[in-house]
Structures are given as C-alpha cells and as structure tokens.
Chains A and B, each alone.
Chain A
Amino acid sequence: MFARMSDIDRMFDAMGLLRGRFDNIFNEFDRTVGYGPTWSVIGNYPRTNLYDKGEQFELFAEVPGLSKDDLDVKIQGNYLEISGTREVKTPEGYRAHRSERGSASFTRSLTLPSDVDPDKVTATLNDGILVLTLPKSEAAKPRQISIN
C-alpha cells in the first residue's frame, strides 16, 4: 500500500526514468560500457564519421592523445587507411592508481564511396579529432549538365 504521498512520487519518478532510458535506447551507440580498459575491446578504433559535401568528403576520426607524428594516413583510389600508435606512459616520478587508457597500435581501413584525389587531401588535428578533407577525383564529382 502507498501509505504516503512520497511513495507515490517515488514510483512515478522511477517510471519517468525508465521512459527516459527507452527514449535514448537507440542513440546509445557510443557509450563506453563499464569502467574497464575498453580500448582493446572496441573493434573499430578509431571511430570515424564520414560526410559527403558534394565536391569532397570530410572524415572525422576520434584520436585522443595522439600527436601528428603518431598517425599515418594512406590513400589509394577509394581506399583509406589510418594507422598509428598510442603510448600511455606513467609520468616521471608518479605512481599509477588507475589506468584505463591503454597503449595500443591500430590500423583501420575504410572504403570511401568514391575515388578521391590523393594529392589534394588535407589533414588537421584538433582537440583529439583528426579531420581529413578528401576532394573527390574528377570522375566522381557531381557535374552540372546543361540542356540544349
């Protein structure tokens, strides 16, 4: 029995919380599960986003803690490969209490929807996000057709 109003309040709170969870169930795709060193478990590292901007593609990759010397990008036609090594060292004179961020080397290859011009590719690294601008090759670019 609900003897007090506060019990009823609490029940509705719990129901609201459950509803919130269901609302979010489909966009929980990049939640880090648990507290352990998940680095090794994630198969597709680094995670990437690809956007098609008509003339060019833009690829975002999540590479926290990596400097530009740690990263290597290879392109051939519509094949793109990002590889790198991350080293996490305990700073000099410190002892570690918790280390969740592991050292690892990785390679990820991606197939782009169309060929890109490897000479015009530019890459920037900002706040742990690698941004590659990949202009499409002439044949793959959208073209305006004039009607006679």
Chain B
Amino acid sequence: MDGKDLTKKEQGAVESTRNLRQVTPLVDIYENDDEILLHAEMPGVKKDDITVNIDNGNLTLSGVRSIVHDGAADWEEFGDVEYQRVFSVPQTIDIKKVNAELKGGILALHLPKSEAAKPKQIKIKAG
C-alpha cells in the first residue's frame, strides 16, 4: 500500500443535504423514425424550475415544486418535492436539437435522432 491510499477518498455513498424530498416522476417514452419523445408527469412544477441536463450519455430531469399557499392546513396529501429521474440516452441522439415543452404539468421532451441514425430506404437498381 502506498501513501496515496491513506488520503484518497473513494467514491462512496454521498448524502444529499437538501431537505427537499426526491420523487420519481412517472414517464411515458415513445419513439418514431425521427425522434424519441418523453412525457414526464410533474404537477405543480413551473417552467423555470425545471432543468434538463444531458451529460456523458445521461439525461437528468429535475423539477422542483414549491406550492404557494397560506391559511391553516386541514389536510395535506402532497407537498413540495423535487421530481428527479435519470435516463441513459443513446449516442444517436442529436443533443443540440433537444427541446422541451411544459403543458398542464406534463413535460414533453423531444430527443431528435441524428441523421446517421435515421432509418434509410435503400433503392435497388436494376442491373
């Protein structure tokens, strides 16, 4: 064992110190010849509170819900949460053209395929 091992911190379990609970959003994933389409359910999340990161083949969706209310709670079945989910995206996605829209608490994420990955019809010439 050399000296380095004594001080090197190995990658272990990292505790998140943020108090916001993380919830897995339900998703639907669709595909056609041009793109992959992802629908994620994030009720109560505002457009500006959503981040979509693509890094090293991982797509990270994150949306923070903070519901503004006042008055005394008679009951509370849902609270402020962070919706978070990570997907691996294939190499064939054209990252520059990814776009997203939010409507009625559903995030629609369009992941277009790069030209090289689209299916092509090969014409056979008569010889």
Residues of A within 8 A of B (CB): 3-6, 9-10, 13-14, 16-17, 20, 24, 27-32, 35, 37-39, 44, 47-54, 57-58, 60, 62-67, 88, 90-91, 93-101, 113, 125, 127-129
Contacts and interface: CB of A to CB of B under 8 A. Distances in A.
A64 B41 contact: yes
Interface stretch (B27-35, B54-62, B118-126): B27-35
Q: Would you call the interface of chain B mostly helix, strand, loop, or mixed?
A: loop
In the complex, which range does the number of interface residues on chain B fall in? 35 or more
Given A10-B12, A32-B23, A62-B44, A95 B30 contact: yes
Interface of B: 1, 5-10, 12-16, 21, 23-32, 36-37, 39, 41-46, 67, 69-79, 81, 102, 104-106
A65 B10 contact: no
Contacts of B75: 48-50
A3 B25 CA distance: 42
B42 A4 contact: no
Highest count of chain B CB atoms <10 Å: which of A17, A88, A100: A100
B37 to A, nearest CB: 6
A20 B71 CA distance: 30
Contacts of B8: 6
Residue among A49, A95, A113 with most chain B CB within 10 A: A49
Contact of A99 (B15, B23, B25, B28): B28
Contacts of A88: 28
